[in-house]
Amino acid sequence: MSEPAADTDDLYARLEEAAAYVRARAEGRTPEVGLILGSGLGGYAEYLDAPVAIDYRDIPHFPASNVAGHAARLVIGQRAGATCVAMQGRVHLYEGHSAAAVGFPARLLIALGARVLVITNAAGGLRRDWPPGTLMLIRDHIDLLRDHPLRGRNDERLGPRFPDMTRAYAPELRTLAKDAAAALAIPIEEGVYAAMPGPTYETPAEVRMLGLLGADATGMSTVPEVIVANHMGARVLGISCITNYGAGLGDHPLSHQEVTDNARRMRGTFERLLDGVLAALVQRGELSGWGASP
């Protein structure tokens, strides 16, 4: 038996039920920006003003995560003049979820009103000249996850059957982020992210393959959320924090502890960049004229 039917049947109804639950607890606030905060980066949600926090397990139909470094809460609040809804942690395919289930939380952020998603991750670096601690704007991605969040029946109320991915990562938002980084004297690179299914880290041969394919960083997340965001007409800014060298490029075995430790080490810089990005979104009027998703 195939799995997609369970993920696609009544998706719109399940999404509406989840959104109604969150709206009832959001104290009348409609988010403008959705923040998906990856491993070791979820602390940014603690800085939202007047926050409302909701455990993932309490939201109808929301997939559960049990990954270390992920707080598993949705937080709504203000930051740098923008109303934000932040995900402290995400779910992954390697936990047993389908790509459609992994994309459901991003759909919820958009259904709540966010038309700009800032999607972050901790990633392995595929370039020797980008050491751990490098920040990378995602220009494009290579999807090697072996599942797709739009597989199965399409609901036209959410988006088209065949969405275009030419501008999956909005160029104008990348320009805005580069300007914000420059104003803060934060070095930032730009490159291609390759999504692998995990949970094992890549082998040295796979790292070489990804480099030949044109990837600059690799991880086990992000792509399903980016796909559903584009499906629903939201704009995406993707940011990777390079937390380790890919297998064969460094001199020691890889571990999740190294990933979370290096992500936390970059936390202050990363949070300053996010503040700069949010402030620029407001100042440049990038959030005006974007209503809630149907």
pLDDT of the residue at 8: 52
Q: How many whole angstroms separate alpha carbon 111 and alpha carbon 63?
A: 16
Residues 6+ apart with CB under 8 A from 107: 11, 15, 158, 228, 232
Distance, in Å, from the CA atom of 277 to the CA atom of 264, rounded to the nearest integer, reads 19
Terminal C-alpha separation, the chain: 32
For residues 201-232, one letter each, b for 16 or more C-beta atoms within 10 angstroms of the residue's C-beta and e for the rest, the string is bbeeebbbebbeeebbbbbbbbbbbbbbbbbb
In degrees and rounded to multiples of 5, residue 213 shows phi and psi of -75, -10
Mean pLDDT in consecutive groups of 10 residues from the start of the chain, 294 residues: 48 97 94 91 89 95 72 92 94 94 98 97 94 96 97 96 97 97 98 96 95 97 98 98 85 79 85 96 82 41
The pLDDT tens digits for 221-266 are 999 999 999 999 999 999 999 998 888 787 777 788 877 787 788 8
Q: How far is CA 72 from CA 26, 45, 75, in A?
A: 17, 11, 10
Please state the pTM of the whole predicted model.
Answer: 0.92
Domains of the chain: 4-283 (3.40.50.1580)
Determine the Cα–Cα distance for residues 38 and 9; give it in Å rounded to an integer. Answer: 28
pLDDT value of residue 206: 96
Residue in this structure with the two tokens 């995560």, named with its chain if needed: 65
Q: Dihedral (C-alpha) 278, 279, 283, 288: value to the nearest 10 degrees?
A: 30
Look at residue 218 in the predicted model and tell me its pLDDT: 97
pLDDT value at position 4?
38
pLDDT of residue 9: 66
Least Cα distance to 233 among 283, 166, 160 occurs for 160
